[in-house]
Chain A
């Protein structure tokens, strides 16, 4: 039975800046990382591989350089890494992304039964939290979001019991397999790759599937299949700050000036 981790390579957002002229992300020289939530999805799929004998597959849609992230998944121990990459997939919103990923999962399911698909609860670049649920809906899988603990898996009855972490409460949910599960950080602590695994993954094959393999209608994928598009990205405007006093030579004086200012503007009560 397969356990599939959907992972996305995202720009390290702490390092992303927005070009004030074009209103787009400046991606030059920004390192890419695995979406932090997805690393927990990946970890859980590896744990199920260890504990239940699932075959673990890492799946990612993205440009060719996303191969680096999939290679890291191999170093961590997945059995297969598949990159869904094609020019026609480019510019996709969450709907057309989930179309492509669902098609890939369906194709994998033709070879071996799919048990669980893990996704991070959202990505740190898009923050929509829609792709996971989109995949579940398109595949007709049980949809379990915001999961912070797997309580029980019954491979005979093909059921799963999970705990969902909601605001101020937990919810224990039982569902039929196959299931799509989006995970939160509390689910697990991701592992660290061993050096022998890193070295062997450097030579291992990351499979690349284009639309030739998936045979999707080009109007349902990429920009064409996307009913939404980002028209503008910008940083919220912030009032420029000012430097009070001379903190370098007279830190005490500067601090007292700051206190006076805060009291004057009614932000501090004496």
Chain B
């Protein structure tokens, strides 16, 4: 009788579970195509390290707690499988194994169950006392923890009774179950061991099957999707965006779930709502509309709601979707203001334990707004026009581009004559403060005898900002022109002083068939000093130096050491580090095209970062990016009485050059 009942319940549960999973995961197929199956061996390796090894999970507070639950679950999955199978076929169970092995298994499961019970208790406590984000104390979260806890308690109850009954050997006694057995013996239940065993067995069975069927409808869907999601991760850094094809009839960017890729949609099912992305997001952290976790969550909600519509219309792809991905921030959509607040710093993606890619989704939605609707913050109209007409963000005359170097005698780049192209960049050529960096850099290069040339008035903007802002059409034009120019001039090696030029020339232009050897000036200077080509005097002038990582040099391109080495070699002292540095560095606020936008909401991001830097009481804040320079200069001006200087790494090096190495004065 009980067998038949269990058989019926199990069959029903498995059918419903399979159907629920199918219905959810099939929705992913409405996304566009994307290849995520290349390099399978590397993918597997990553999956072992990051999913099974929980590398990113355990790197943050309370991550170890999750790790314990996860690893214990892997062991208990085996025990639960045995539980279900032996429920149907009592002949197939661990009990058939040789006694020592059976004993060892019982012991292991016992310890794992105990660890899980402790870990879910800590998790519940943590969620109550110190939740990962405001609004994390949901019924769902506690319900899931309670279900796991109940499962563990039922397991102990069941095994305790079995030991008391003498079914399980108490010799190789699993400690907790044995303890429970002892307890049971002292209670009236001792007289009804069989009934007690049945009660625990059914509690265990119902909670287990209930939990399984709850999964696809909860954030615990990640139990099913997170591991594949890590396997399917982007094997490159998310430092560029994919190209679009500009043909009539195409749609550009994404305003509906069909505009996103299947992987984007799978990401939304993989979110565990741990809140780490929003904790590290400079926009979310300073009171802006953006919350990366909610962007991903909205995509999931949207997919679920539109998915139902799609089903009703039975595959009518032309049918209007009920909700757009971009709206007023209700269920299933993200506010425009949120999309525009992103600095594209990549901090969210760096911390995500399951490798969700937030930035590509935000850029796809920006692309839709800019390209399909021509809707964007009003400051961007001038930027786009200036970029299109004059190839620089300020709309300066291209003929003014070389003015910064009018007192220097720079060589024009000529393939075969000059080794490197020094790509000055718009800030280095037009911005008053950053022109000083350009001059300092040429001094350093001259002192080391580096062979380089410039494009002068012919240099164009690389197009970084317009691409991150979603104006892919304009970027495509600019990139095509620049790539043609580089090919025509035979440019192969480029020095940049701007990480935005750096990443664009290095990673974005590759999509246009141009493979350049791009080197950031901090890397080159580091090499030059190591090779003994630069003699520095260890000038005391920079004083205590704190280094700020540029997102596009650090997180997006993994250059962390070179600037620190340079500073150590030049100043003879260790660089001061802020609390948030290297891969955890906090953006200055100017990336992703934010350089050209006002900050209307919350507190300025640069103020936040400047305060963090000044807490180290530095004499110099050293930057490696012209945008960071501007943001820090502006931020420090707000601090009354601060005498801290903001210097680019090239300026710090130029200060320490032996005077004899300085090129003759130009006046």
The residues of A with any CB-CB pair to B shorter than 8 Å are: 12, 14-15, 17, 31, 33, 189-196, 198-200, 203, 243, 245-249
Do A243 and B389 touch across chains, with their CB atoms under 8 A apart?
no
Do B372 and A246 touch across chains, with their CB atoms under 8 A apart?
no
Do A199 and B371 touch across chains, with their CB atoms under 8 A apart?
no
Do A195 and B246 touch across chains, with their CB atoms under 8 A apart?
yes
A179 CB to nearest B CB, Å? 28
Q: CA–CA, A246 to B439, complex, Å?
A: 14
Do B384 and A192 touch across chains, with their CB atoms under 8 A apart?
yes
A116 CB to nearest B CB, Å? 24
Contacts of A33 in B (CB 8 A): 389
Contacts of A192 in B (CB 8 A): 370, 374, 376, 381, 384
Could you jot down 12 A-B contacts, CB within 8 Å? A14-B390, A15-B398, A15-B399, A17-B399, A33-B389, A189-B381, A190-B381, A196-B248, A196-B252, A199-B248, A248-B407, A248-B665
Contacts of B662 in A (CB 8 A): 249
Which of B373, B389, B665 interacts with A249 by CB under 8 Å?
A: B665
Contacts of B390 in A (CB 8 A): 12, 14-15, 31
Which of B246, B389, B666 interacts with A248 by CB under 8 Å?
A: B666
Whether B409 is near chain A, meaning CB under 8 Å from some CB there, is no
- Interfacial residues of chain B within 223-281, with CB under 8 A of chain A in the complex: 246-248, 252
B368 CB to nearest A CB, Å? 10
Q: Give the A-B pair count, Cβ closer than 8 A.
A: 57
Extra 4 A-B pairs, beta carbons < 8 Å, given A33-B389, A190-B381, A194-B371 = A15-B399, A194-B374, A195-B372, A248-B666
Which of A189, A193, A248 interacts with B667 by CB under 8 Å?
A: A248
Contacts of B439 in A (CB 8 A): 248
Contacts of B371 in A (CB 8 A): 194-195
Q: CA–CA, A199 to B473, complex, Å?
A: 10
Do B667 and A194 touch across chains, with their CB atoms under 8 A apart?
no
The residues of B with any CB-CB pair to A shorter than 8 Å are: 246-248, 252, 370-374, 376, 378, 381, 384, 389-390, 395-399, 407, 439, 473, 662, 665-667
Q: CA–CA, A189 to B399, complex, Å?
A: 28
Do A194 and B372 touch across chains, with their CB atoms under 8 A apart?
yes
A47 CB to nearest B CB, Å? 14
B391 CB to nearest A CB, Å? 10
Do B397 and A194 touch across chains, with their CB atoms under 8 A apart?
no
A44 CB to nearest B CB, Å? 16
Q: CA–CA, A31 to B439, complex, Å?
A: 29
B455 CB to nearest A CB, Å? 15
Most buried by B among A189, A194, A198: A194
From A190, which residue of chain B is reached at the shortest CB distance?
A: B381
B470 CB to nearest A CB, Å? 11
Contacts of B665 in A (CB 8 A): 246, 248-249
From B408, which residue of chain A is reached at the shortest CB distance?
A: A248
Do B374 and A31 touch across chains, with their CB atoms under 8 A apart?
no
Q: CA–CA, A243 to B665, complex, Å?
A: 13
Q: CA–CA, A196 to B373, complex, Å?
A: 10
Do A199 and B247 touch across chains, with their CB atoms under 8 A apart?
yes
From A193, which residue of chain B is reached at the shortest CB distance?
A: B374
